[in-house]
Structure 1
């Protein structure tokens, strides 16, 4: 092999060796990270200081690793704060596209029913039940 061809091969190989671990690391779902919450069952008194943070459409709070939201239509929804991609606790509610869940770690986007909206992950975001009884909001599985 000529020196020039060898160096070209080495350059491409080195680039592959540096790029492959990053691409591979960002493509794996459900490896390591924080556990997705299970056994969720708690209440929020909407007249309390905690509940007052859910007064306006688009408001959300974080409680027990759950994002509790008063969506843009005024309905209460709740989702795992732990992303289904690589289990970081960065899921929040944002008002893009009518209101979505967004993880700032790698850019995962989810509909309000947990369906992935981009190709970052194929795994849905865990969604919890909500039930409003007077001023008490229950979040549960």
Structure 2
């Protein structure tokens, strides 16, 4: 193989790799349901806080995802629950207790603990769910 063929081969490989990565990153408009964008409806579940799987909710600032909902315990010790997906493009949010907000790592959208948009590109608030603590049982419901 001469130099020209080698460079051509490298160039074609790089181009193919770039195209495959771009196609793989493209979000399919049909891949997210409206429930991902607006949050699940008819939410009604209970978390047993004595179980190891839910231990994150025993500490202020802890959070977990269950049934399409992020459940968190704020710095002040209050339980809150919102849809798990960003209203911009349905990427999974994270709860940042130090900043008292929900954050989308995809495009940087942020939401207050009450679900309102504090930084775009999202323009629609999160669906917020009710919480009720009774002993070691935390009920999350619409």
- Under a length normalisation based on structure 2, what TM-score does the superposition of the two structures give? 0.72
| Structure 1 unaligned residues grouped into runs of 5+ | 1-30
Alignment RMSD (CA, Å): 1.7
Matches within 5 A, 1:35-54: 35=35, 36-54=39-57
Q: Please give the secondary structure, in 2, of the residue aligned with 1:51.
A: helix
Structure 2 SS opposite 1:39? coil
Matched pairs, number: 110
1:10 corresponds in structure 2 to: none
2:79 corresponding residue in structure 1: 76
Does the 8 A contact of 1:44 with 1:50 survive in 2? no
In the TM superposition, what are the counterparts of 1:17-96 in structure 2 within 5 Å? 32=30, 33-34=32-33, 35=35, 36-88=39-91, 90-96=92-98
- Identify unmatched segments of 5+ residues in structure 2: 1-28
Deviations 1:44-69 (A, max 9, x none): 01111122221111100111111110
- Alpha-carbon deviation of 1:96? 3.9
The one-character-per-residue Cα deviations of 1:92-126 (angstroms, maximum 9, x if unpaired) are 100243x1011112111000111100131220011
Higher percent of residues as helix: 2
